[in-house]
Structures are given as C-alpha cells and as structure tokens.
Structure 1
Amino acid sequence: MLKQADLHTHTKASDGTCEPAENVRLAKEAGLAALAITDHDTVAGVAEAMEAGAKLGVEIIPGVEVSSVGNGQDIHVLGYFVPYEDQAFQERLVSLRETRHQRNQLLIARLQELGIAITLENVYRRKQGTDKNIGRPHIAEELIELGVVATMEEAFDKYLGKGGAAYVNPPRITPQEAITLIQEAGGVAVLAHPGLYDDDELVRELIAFGLDGIEVNHPDNDELQKLRYSKWADEHGLVMTGGSDFHGWRGEEPFHAMLGSHTASLEVVERLRELAQQRRG
C-alpha cells in the first residue's frame, strides 16, 4: 500500500479531545507517513506534534484551519506549511480567536433566551490554560451534560449549526481574506470540506480568487461532490487534498471520522511543500 497522509486533524489546542502527541501516535498506528495538525485559528499544537513525529518517524505538516464567513455561513480555509513559530503570524491568529470568543458569548446568550441554563463559565472550564480556544463542540458537550440534547449531532441540528435555533455569526474575515492571510505568510491555502457549504458558486469564486487547493477526500463530501471538485481542481491546476477532520472522541465514537480514514498521497504533500517553498522565494 502506498504511504498516505491525513491532512486534516484537530487536537486539544482547539476543539479536539486528544493531545497533539496522541494524534501522532494514532497516525503511526494507522501506518501513515505524514500528518497535518490543523487546529482552528491556532498553531499551538504544532510544536508538540513535531517533537512526537520526530520520535515516531511521522512527518508533521504544520497547519491551521482559518475561520471566515462567506455568504452568511462559516467557511474554513486550511493553511499548510505555515510559519508556526513566526510571532507576526501567531498574532494574526489571536484576533481570529477573539472573534470566536465573541461568537461563543452570543451563542450562550441565545441559548439562555431559549430557557436553557447554560453559562459561559461552565463551558470555558472545559479548557485549561490561558489560550482558551473554545468552539461550538464544547458548547455541545455542555448541552449534552445538561440533558438538553442526547448527542453532538442533535446539538448542532437543533441549536448550534446553520439553521439551528441559537446559530449566530458575528462579523469575521472573508474567505478571500483567509486565503490571503495564509498565502502572505508563505503557506498554501486549501478550501476545507466544500461539500458542507451547499454553495458551489462560492467555491468557484474562491477558485477564481486564487485558492491553491480543494479538500476533495473528506467525510462530509459525497461521491458526486468529490467528482465535481476533482474535475474543477484538474481544470484549474489545484491541489486535491484529503483528511479525516478527526476531532478525537465524543463518547465512544470518533468525531467527524477516525484519523487515517480519509487521506491523500505523499505526492500531494510534495506539491503542497513545493508551493510553500515557491511562495517564500
């Protein structure tokens, strides 16, 4: 079997449940040659993963998943080979996390208006440390604990997801600004899980704007979507990536999909690396 890479995974640095080193161990167990750490709006988990990767013989691709809003919904842009140790880049991400905190406050307020006894303090106690990168899955966990919903899926369907009773979207950077942020830092910008957005016009707009790649092999893209995005990527010379979007476990189940279940070839990793090197001159 050809060596593969999982190019989309999350850790405790954002809304995953595993330490970065645990993701690396799982990658090694799955027989992967490479793994990307792509936490939401932070690179805080990359250094630990790099260290673990060096010990276990798994290449770690420093990444990030940048949150933006386009046409009224969350649009995520993956950045690969980003300068995770660069202070200026880290400061740009801080402002994105502040917007995430603002959204959490608005979500909690909406849930309280709906008569749910949830507090920001109780949600935020789920994360330790000063860099509390809290997201909607943490709010969903609190709703499960309160007995308001039974599952993560129900929490998103009823309250937190697009169309949910408490859904809010404060002003954020646009997907175009997210692409620019990543590329100006010397990274490679790839549109995450386009099948989730139900907005192929926006996908085409972002391709025309200058995307470097599309995440084709993702658990939330159906087979027809994979074919369509592969065709567009071929037409425009874009990189086709793949990843599980692993967030650890919610109860007994892996959240999104198990690490290593959706992958890309090492040729894809090389293309991403070359693009990043070209961008940095």
Structure 2
Amino acid sequence: MEELGMDRGFADLHTHTIASDGMLTPSGNVRLAQAAGLAAVAITDHDTVSGVAEAVEEGRSIGLEVVPGVEISTSARGQDIHVLGYFIDTLDPLLLDRLEQLREVRKRRNDALIEKLQTCGFELTMDEVIANIGRELKPDESVGRPHIAALLVKRGYVGSLEEAFSDYLGKGGKAYVNAPRIEPAEAIRWIHEAGGSAVLAHPGLYADDELVERIAEAGLDGIEAYHADHSAEDAGRYEQIASRFGLLVTAGSDFHGERDGIVFHSPLGSRKIAMSAVDALREKAASRKHGRDDR
C-alpha cells in the first residue's frame, strides 16, 4: 500500500452500515475508524446513500473525514460487478432516482434467491429475513445477501456465513442469482454525472482480468487493488493494471460488521491507503462538479 507521512494518516475507502447490509450505524463506523487510528473513512453502502449524512455529521463532531460514497450494483458476463463512487453529490435528484431503481432490482433479486433456497428445501421467506434484522427498515435502505445468510445460520441450515455464501448465495452457489442490472460502464457514467470518482471494487472476486481491463477502458478513475479478499499477488497485479491504464489505486476493508462473532469481510481499517489517494479522488470529483456548474 502507498505510504505517506503518518502526519496525514490513512483511509479505509470501503465500509458498509445498517443502511445496506452492515451491522453498525453510520456513526458507529466513523467512531470505529477513529479508534482504528484512521484519518478518513468512506461510507459505501449498496445502492443507497442513506447513511452518508449521519456519518458526515459524526465525522465533523470528532474530527475525522468522511468520504461520501456508494457501491453500485452492476452485471457483466453473468456475474455481479460492483463500482464504487466517491465524493458524489448525495443530494442529486437524478442519482437518488437511479439508486431507487437499483434497489427495486435488488428486491427482485432477493425474491429470486428466496425462491431458489425454497427449492433447496429451506423454509424461509423474505418477510422473515427482514424481521430477523431486528428493526424497521427505512425506505431508502437495502437488504443484501448477508441478511439472508444470517437467517440461514440462525435456522441451522448452514453452519456459518461463509458456508451460506460458498454453498448457496455466492457465485457458483446453488441459489445464486445474477439479476439483470446495468452494465459497469453505465454505473461509471452515473457516478461521473453525480460529480464523483468511479473505482472498480474488489476485482479479484471476478476472476476475469480481461473484463477488469475492459471496465478500466470505460472511464474508471481507479481500481481497489487492496481488498480484504485479495492476496498480495492479486494486489500487485491490480496495481499493475491500474498503472497501465493511468488509474488510481485504492484500498478498502469492505467492513460489514460482526455477525455471530465473525467480522465480514474484515475489520475496519485492515485495508487502508494513504490520504494522497483520497486527495486525488477528491480532485477528480471536483473537476467534474466544476464541469457541471459550467453547463
């Protein structure tokens, strides 16, 4: 990972809150980032910016920078591809409308997952998944596969979240569903039109570097080379791809919180990048916002 003087510190640029499938409130993520010694943390919930305002306010109160973000769900070559957006205008009406459309697709995906799990002999419903979350969801929050996995564990159908994903919910699993979503290039465009910077999330999970390069050519600003599920070899390979295409390199823990004593994917701050990367993402976003203002 890029090193910079410790006077400016580091940032974890990929975390989730209860606004999507994380376990902590946005404020909780910010306080945890401070406890981890970070200078900044990004809030990047799936297809929603619902948690950003709370996180930004908490960051102001404790002196920690919060990068407003989102993780947009897309699809390519039969699998889910995620694109991170940073320094987006979280009040942009067009972006909010587009994210709402994606959450509707996510709901249909979840329903299809439940149907497949039922055919596997598991007795559960989407209402039970939501009830198991333990609180009333806001209209702009989203339900994800970890919520379904948590109920599978609770019912004793699987022994762990890892088993739920490897055997049923993840790519190649018996109940995996690849919903008809927008392509990565469209997500990049949406992020740019909302005045943000676009970064490909966890490319190592796709096992398709030719696809990664194709997405890089579609206007990406960066690649998340350092991720909880990347090996050192993966990180080096994606750093090289980023360099070849003139892209920024970022890092993120993909923190979702703790379920049944296990942190999913990894502890907040376990993957971090120097603040110069945050500055570069901010500068790219600022240039796009300036362009929007000049229209």
| TM-score, normalised by the number of residues in structure 2 | 0.93
Match in the other structure for 2:272: 263
Per-residue Cα deviation, 1:221-278 (whole angstroms, up to 9, x for no partner): 1111111111121222211000100001012221101001100110000000000011
Query: Structure 2 residue aligned with 1:245, among 249, 254, 258?
Result: 254
Per-residue Cα deviation, 1:13-62 (whole angstroms, up to 9, x for no partner): 00000000000000111111111000000000000001100011100000
Q: What is the alpha-carbon distance in structure 2 between the residues aligned to residue 123 and residue 255 of structure 1? A: 18
Counterpart code for 2:138: T
Q: What is the alpha-carbon distance in structure 1 between the residues aligned to residue 260 and residue 60 of structure 2? A: 30
Query: Structure 2 residue aligned with 1:129, among 119, 122, 137?
Result: 137
Q: What is the alpha-carbon distance in structure 1 between the residues aligned to residue 12 and residue 67 of structure 2? A: 10
Match in the other structure for 2:30: 24
Q: What is the alpha-carbon distance in structure 1 between the residues aligned to residue 80 and residue 61 of structure 2? A: 36
Gaps of 5+ in 2: 291-295
Q: What is the alpha-carbon distance in structure 2 between the residues aligned to residue 244 and residue 130 of structure 1? A: 25
Per-residue Cα deviation, 1:143-193 (whole angstroms, up to 9, x for no partner): 011110010000011110111111111210011111111111111000000
Query: Structure 1 residue aligned with 2:51, among 22, 45, 51?
Result: 45
Match in the other structure for 2:293: none
Where 2:24 maps in the other structure, the secondary structure is: coil
Structure 1 vs Structure 2: percent identity of aligned residues? Answer: 54
Q: What is the alpha-carbon distance in structure 2 between the residues aligned to residue 63 and residue 80 of structure 1? A: 4
Match in the other structure for 1:230: 239
Match in the other structure for 2:212: 203
Pairs within 5 Å for 1:65-214: 65-125=71-131, 126=133, 127-131=135-139, 132-214=141-223
Shift in Å, 1:88: 2.1
Q: What is the alpha-carbon distance in structure 2 between the residues aligned to residue 159 and residue 249 of structure 1? A: 20
Q: What is the alpha-carbon distance in structure 2 between the residues aligned to residue 203 and residue 267 of structure 1? A: 24
Range that drifts further, 250-259 or 93-102: 250-259
Q: What is the alpha-carbon distance in structure 2 between the residues aligned to residue 50 and residue 263 of structure 1? A: 19
| TM-score, normalised by the number of residues in structure 1 | 0.98
Where 2:138 maps in the other structure, the secondary structure is: coil
Counterpart code for 1:249: E
Aligned length: 281
Shift in Å, 1:128: 1.4
Match in the other structure for 1:11: 17
Over aligned residue pairs, what C-alpha RMSD do you find? 1.0
Match in the other structure for 1:64: 70
Gaps of 5+ in 1: none
Q: What is the alpha-carbon distance in structure 2 between the residues aligned to residue 130 and residue 4 of structure 1? A: 32
Counterpart code for 1:208: E
